[in-house]
Amino acid sequence: MPKLPAPPLPKSLKPKPKRPGEGNGNGNGNGAVGLSHPVAEAGVSAVDWIDERTSLSGGIRWMLFRKVPRGVNWFYTLGSATMFAFLSQAVTGVFLAMYYRPDATGGAYESMRYITDQAFLGQFVRGMHKWGSSVMVILIFLHMARTFFFGAYKYPREMTWIIGVVLLILTMAMSFTGYLLPFDQRAYWATIVGVNINGTGPFIGPYLSDFLRAGPEFGATTLSRFYAIHMLLLPGLIIALIGAHLWLITKLGISAPPWLKGEPDPELEQTEV
């Protein structure tokens, strides 16, 4: 594999030239200049120790210091915004799971009441998770619209689009399974209606709703089944697919906005004439 070219470092990250009379006098001027403080040297050697064993710096440079086309704008941040909405959901979800009990005989609702009324900052964390879920759905649709209207799904980025569509479906599945968990009247009846909509699919619909409910009726394990899907199965899939999505974005580079005309190399034009 060819060595990656050194990235164009921003001015603030470039090593400062040595002042006259400073340094060890060999004058080769490499990156270690100016880091003579022992604390700074300890940090550098720790980072070097990790990098020597993992070669992480190459990957980080590949990920963060890549070239982007002219004309990128705030619309290009919608994907990252969606990812941060997901991270917020993941973190708040972990803390909600510390109190939540998926107990259909009444424990689920009581545990939600405890989170809302008693637990320190519980109402705040639950609110973040509840409203954040809507934010994530809105952002994922805006991100999809940006990709569609900018034509960013075209060759060679079709796989990125397909993975994104799967992520959209998984996000919808997250919303559906998460809606039941507060286990109040609205959650219960919305899930009854949702499962029955599933059941209207011909041939496999009846069996699909049996699978979702774990039986022909809303039963003892329906809630814990939804809970396990919501907090174990779907997040794992989403994290894995976000990783694949990001890898493809970095590998292929992001597309220029459609209003920028491509400028052919003047040398190429001359040879063609």
Structure tokens given for 65: 């210091």
By the rule CB under 8 A, 110 interacts with other proteins: no
Nearest approach in angstroms of CB 196 to other proteins is: 5
By the rule CB under 8 A, 111 interacts with other proteins: no
3-state percent helix, strand, coil for the chain, nearest multiple of 5: 65, 0, 35
* Number of chain residues interacting with other proteins (CB under 8 A): 29
Structure tokens given for 37: 């403080």
By the rule CB under 8 A, 205 interacts with other proteins: yes
Q: Which is nearer to other proteins, 112 or 140 (CB)?
A: 112
By the rule CB under 8 A, 197 interacts with other proteins: yes
Structure tokens given for 102: 């998926």
Range 155-173 burial, b when 16+ CB lie within 10 A, else e: eebeebbebbeebbebbeb
Among 43, 71, 106, 243, binds other proteins (CB under 8 A): 106
Residue pointed to by tokens 């990656």 = 4
Nearest approach in angstroms of CB 153 to other proteins is: 33
By the rule CB under 8 A, 202 interacts with other proteins: yes
> Which residues, in sequence order, are CB contacts of 128 under 8 Å at separation 6+?
88, 92
Among 49, 148, 149, 207, binds other proteins (CB under 8 A): 207
Which string of DSSP letters, residue by residue, matches 144-208?
HHHHHHTTTTSTT-HHHHHHHHHHHHHHHHHHHHHHHTT-SHHHHHHHHHHHHHHHTSTTTHHHH
- Which residue type is seen at 145? A
By the rule CB under 8 A, 91 interacts with other proteins: no
Among 142, 214, 244, 246, binds other proteins (CB under 8 A): 214
Nearest approach in angstroms of CB 177 to other proteins is: 14
Nearest approach in angstroms of CB 110 to other proteins is: 12
By the rule CB under 8 A, 215 interacts with other proteins: yes
Question: How far does Cα 271 stand from its chain's mean position?
Answer: 46
By the rule CB under 8 A, 240 interacts with other proteins: no
Residue span binding other proteins (CB under 8 A) among the ranges 10-18, 78-86, 129-137, 216-224: 216-224
Task: In whole angstroms, give the CA distance from residue 69 to residue 230.
Answer: 38
Nearest approach in angstroms of CB 183 to other proteins is: 8
Residue pointed to by tokens 């619209």 = 145
Residue span binding other proteins (CB under 8 A) among the ranges 27-35, 102-110, 125-133, 238-246: 102-110
By the rule CB under 8 A, 55 interacts with other proteins: no
By the rule CB under 8 A, 189 interacts with other proteins: yes
By the rule CB under 8 A, 203 interacts with other proteins: yes
CA 131 → CA 6, 35, 124, distances in Å?
43, 46, 10
Task: In whole angstroms, give the CA distance from residue 131 to residue 157.
Answer: 32
Chain residues in the site for other proteins (CB under 8 A): 104-106, 188-189, 192-193, 195-197, 199-200, 202-203, 205-207, 209-211, 213-221
